[in-house]
Structure 1
């Protein structure tokens, strides 16, 4: 039975990945920060087969203990402070967790592996936010990185550190440059979930409007459940490498709003959405669209859920949740 350790197991990617690996017969360990972590119960409810180990990406000794306990064949480093807007408010903490945390996890893996540095396969969750001020459309593995947020800068550090460990030590270490991927499990602070939840509440008469930032920002949005399959495929490849994971389509916030409101029978949402300058980024990333040719040809990966299907899935899930909360 293969064994896997997932950091960031409480996030949407961690939950979907844990389900995928458990379904493939893995013994899965999830790293949770602190014994009283409020999200621990979420993991225990949604993926009860996961064995919880405690650790902190900023504390190498705790990661070494977690590695010894889990004895993994594969390590998936998904843990990060991942809300981009917050990274401007606390750039240092974002850098320590999202950037230096990768170094700590790589080092813990290297030290645990001993003389056979290729026996534990390592996945790093890189991000399309690394492209920032895009220098090429669409973006591929060879596109120059130009991050536009402290989060993006921290991800670039972790990305290059993963490459360095692969090249310096011969580790089977891969980075998945994942473009925006969403799901009903997405946190409500992220714009896609913020919209789907607000649309559900507006349709039920529980909320009057929603405040958003730049409605013309464009992203390459896919389904998180599809993207964790790409992560697993990377670690089954003969050698570590870097892969863009994306749909190859770009859509604006306005398009997301069109589909979301149409799902609840609202065609004109102009009076229900307030553009608030507070939600504009200090340095905007206007257009992200990925070229996943390499993942498609080398890993056999293809996205399965379309953009309209994704938006509909999220709105329907939030309708169910809000009805239950309102006792309807």
Structure 2
């Protein structure tokens, strides 16, 4: 049984990760902000068996103190400003939470490892956004780091810090996660906006979906699959970087078409309006990952197809 510390445990990925580890018998500790405590309505992560600790990830002393107190075998740093769009409005906060805070976690893990004589294993949740507008497709772990958004720049800093601490002997992993979705995705994300609005239109409660760039392409996967990849990476003998992706990209318009079809609406185009206000200042056009290393070394592979992911989200929204 491992003792595990998860930052961002109340989020989409943190919740699925905690549930997987609890089911396996691990002792799970999670970091939450006071305003992000899970509500007992059954709709979110089931964290009753986890030990929750309230602190802000940017409070370095508090986070370091918690890591020393918990004395974990594994740390998964998943907390951060997860919205690329929001990072344009709050670039400094994004840098603090998604970038600099990772250095605090890595330093605390390294110091703890030195004191106890065995390594704490750390997984940093990186992002495909670190590649910016890549010149190569698909992207693997060797693709140039060239972010084009504040979110991507913050994640790139954290990714580089993983390499720094790995060089000091820490068992540090960078999981380069491509877009991954589930019914727990917050409504502020375009995918959930699409599925919720499709459900509302199907019920006659809305008549329009307003979006930005319909041509942007992303490699969408299933969130529980991606947290499983992180666990496999943490427990591999040698730490490394791992792209976690399906290897297939789809456009935003394809996501819309799949969502509306699942909701029973065939002519989706007449319900969709493009508003330039929703187009990001700079946006990666086509992102698709090559997860060969994760497949070959970790025995990992996706379990849900793109249509199944969209269907799961739409079905949840139709039932709410």
Q: TM-score normalised to the size of structure 1? A: 0.94
**Paired residue for 2:282?**
283
Q: Give the alignment of 1:84-99 within 5 angstroms.
A: 84-99=84-99
TM-score, length basis structure 2: 0.96
Question: 1:6·1:29 contact (CA, 8 Å) conserved in 2?
Answer: yes
* Distance (Å, rounded) in 2 between the aligned partners of 1:107 and 1:28: 21
Give the Cα–Cα distance (whole angstroms) in 2 for the partners of residues 79 and 38 of structure 1.
11
| Residues 79-102 of structure 1, C-alpha deviations (whole Å, 9 max, x = no match) | 111100011111101001110010
Report if the CA contact (8 A) 1:110-1:117 is conserved. Answer: no
How far is the alpha carbon of 1:108 from its aligned partner?
Answer: 1.6
In the TM superposition, what whole-angstrom CA distance separates every residue of 1:226-259 from its partner, at most 9, and x where no partner exists?
Answer: 0000000001111210000000001001111111
**Structure 1 residues 77-130: Cα deviation after superposition (integer angstroms, max 9, x where no partner):** 001111000111111010011100100111121222234565210000000011
Counterpart of 1:138? 138
Name the structure 2 match of 1:221. Answer: 220
1:1-328 → structure 2 map (5 Å cutoff): 1-33=1-33, 36-41=34-39, 46-116=46-116, 118-167=118-167, 169-321=168-320
Residue 5 of structure 1 aligns to a residue in which SS? strand
CA distance in 2, matches of 1:63, 1:118: 20
CA distance change for structure 1 residues 45 and 124 in 2, over 3 Å: closer, same or farther? closer
- What are the Cα deviations for residues 270-313 of structure 1, in whole angstroms up to 9, with x where unaligned? 12111010110101110000000000000000000000000000
Distance 2:276 2:16 in 1: 34
Q: Would the aligned equivalents of 2:217 and 2:286 in 1 still touch at CA under 8 Å?
A: yes
Query: Would the alpha carbon gap of residues 117 and 96 (structure 1) be closer, same or farther in structure 2, given more than 3 Å must change?
Result: farther
How far 1:159 moved relative to its partner?
Answer: 0.1
Deviation at 1:2? 1.3
Distance 1:158 1:142 in 2: 16
> Equivalent residue of 1:53, what SS?
strand
Instruction: Return 5+ residue gaps in structure 2 as ranges.
Output: none
In 1, Cα distance between equivalents of 2:240 and 2:118: 13
Give ranges in structure 1 of 5+ residues lacking alignment. Answer: 322-328
Asked if 2 retains the 8 angstrom alpha-carbon contact of 1:117 and 1:171, the reply is no
Within 2, Cα distance between the matches of 1:212 and 1:45?
Answer: 29
Q: How far apart, in 2, do the equivalents of 1:21 and 1:177 lie?
A: 20
Would the aligned equivalents of 1:64 and 1:112 in 2 still touch at CA under 8 Å? no
Would the aligned equivalents of 2:10 and 2:45 in 1 still touch at CA under 8 Å? no
Query: How big is each residue's C-alpha offset from its partner over 1:4-44, in whole Å with a ceiling of 9 and x where there is no partner?
Result: 000011110000000110111101001012xx324333699
Secondary structure of the corresponding residue to residue 41 of structure 1: coil
Task: Count residues with an aligned counterpart.
Answer: 318
